[in-house]
């Protein structure tokens, strides 16, 4: 009867080994990817932090998953003396099938993830870094723009695109001269709230004239605005483009310009935080061109991604 009794030592010796505890690395890796994707929309620094988190925990996850392959298996209970290690015909230890399947699954999953993710990221991110230059636009001879007169100019911004797609509008005023050089105010008609076309508040000439240029015809219409207003959401701006009411977050964008052989040539657009003064004496707080709804100065500017 004594020989049939179960001894505590035997039960402990025959207990199966404990499974490896679940790893948090996959969850931390997924969190890093989520933060990086959110950062692409909100802010580049946040995207960089998410990428760093994903990189670190992805490395830890891979290292943990390939521990047996690298020859550093986690500590396990010693094998029973009566169960020798399983060897192949040459006497070497067999490669565990579970390790092979785990590595193959990770490799195939990474390949599928790259095939799905890389094209999507390319279409979403690359357009912000390529073909961002604006072609110079000839608006016509200086005689077309009388001093002190506001003119509505409509022109084709890209020569090889259909006119209905590339047609743009800018409000131009000849300010006279400053330091012996012609001075112009050229304001974009794109509302800086959501991009709707702003309209001049005032009387516009019902008849327009057409000026022929190398880039195509430019339609010019005289107007006498007291300011500019957006018909979509009620955004209002003064005569220099400063926001006076409504949801816009900054002043209207402007265009650089140059005088080439007696003709006014439109250059790159730029964003404006605020304009102090008027006409040729205006002091403009200029910034790289930004999308509508994006702050370019103050604390709010740090909540938006870098504009390439």
Name the DSSP class of 155.
E
Any domain includes 50 = yes
Q: What is the mean pLDDT of residues 252-259?
A: 92
Q: State the residue range of the domain holding 93.
A: 20-75+85-128
Any domain includes 233 = yes
CATH, residue 267:
2.102.10.10
| pLDDT exceeds cutoff 70 at 213 | yes
224 and 279 fall within a common domain? yes
Residue 278 has what pLDDT? Answer: 87
Q: How many domains does the chain have?
A: 2
C-alpha to C-alpha distance for 17 and 69, rounded to whole angstroms: 20
| 64/305: higher pLDDT | 64
State the pTM of this model: 0.59
Residue 255 has what pLDDT? Answer: 93
pLDDT band at 254 (very low <50, low <70, confident <90, very high): very high
Helix 44-65 × helix 25-42 angle, to 10°: 160
The highest-confidence range among 40-49, 54-63, 95-104, 259-268, by mean pLDDT, is: 259-268
Any domain includes 237 = yes
C-alpha to C-alpha distance for 263 and 142, rounded to whole angstroms: 5
């Amino acid at each position: 009867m004594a020989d049939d009794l179960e001894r505590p030592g035997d039960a402990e010796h025959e207990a199966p080994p404990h499974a490896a505890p679940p790893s948090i690395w996959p969850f931390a890796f997924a969190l890093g990817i989520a933060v990086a994707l959110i950062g692409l929309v909100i802010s580049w620094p946040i995207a960089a932090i998410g990428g760093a988190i994903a990189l670190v925990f992805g490395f830890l996850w891979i290292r943990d998953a390939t521990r047996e392959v690298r020859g550093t298996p986690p500590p396990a209970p010693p094998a029973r003396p009566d169960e020798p290690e399983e060897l192949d015909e040459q006497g070497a230890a067999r490669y565990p099938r579970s390790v092979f399947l785990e590595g193959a699954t990770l490799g195939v999953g990474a390949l599928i993830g790259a095939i799905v993710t890389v094209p999507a990221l390319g279409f979403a991110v690359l357009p912000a870094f390529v073909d961002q230059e604006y072609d110079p636009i000839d608006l016509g001879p200086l005689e077309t723009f009388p001093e002190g007169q506001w003119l509505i100019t409509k022109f084709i911004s890209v020569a090889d695109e259909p006119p209905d797609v590339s047609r743009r509008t800018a409000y131009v005023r000849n300010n006279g001269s400053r330091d012996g050089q012609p001075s112009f105010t050229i304001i974009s008609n794109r509302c800086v709230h959501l991009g709707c076309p702003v309209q001049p508040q005032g009387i516009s000439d019902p008849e327009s004239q057409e000026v022929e240029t190398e880039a195509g015809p430019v339609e010019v219409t005289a107007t006498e605005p007291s300011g500019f207003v957006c018909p979509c959401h009620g955004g209002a701006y003064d005569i220099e483009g400063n926001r006076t009411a409504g949801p816009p977050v900054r002043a209207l964008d402007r265009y650089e310009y140059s005088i080439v052989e007696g003709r006014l040539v439109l250059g790159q657009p730029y964003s404006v935080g605020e304009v102090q003064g008027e006409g040729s004496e205006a002091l403009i707080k200029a910034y790289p061109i930004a999308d509508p709804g994006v702050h370019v100065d103050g604390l709010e500017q740090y909540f938006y991604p870098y504009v390439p």
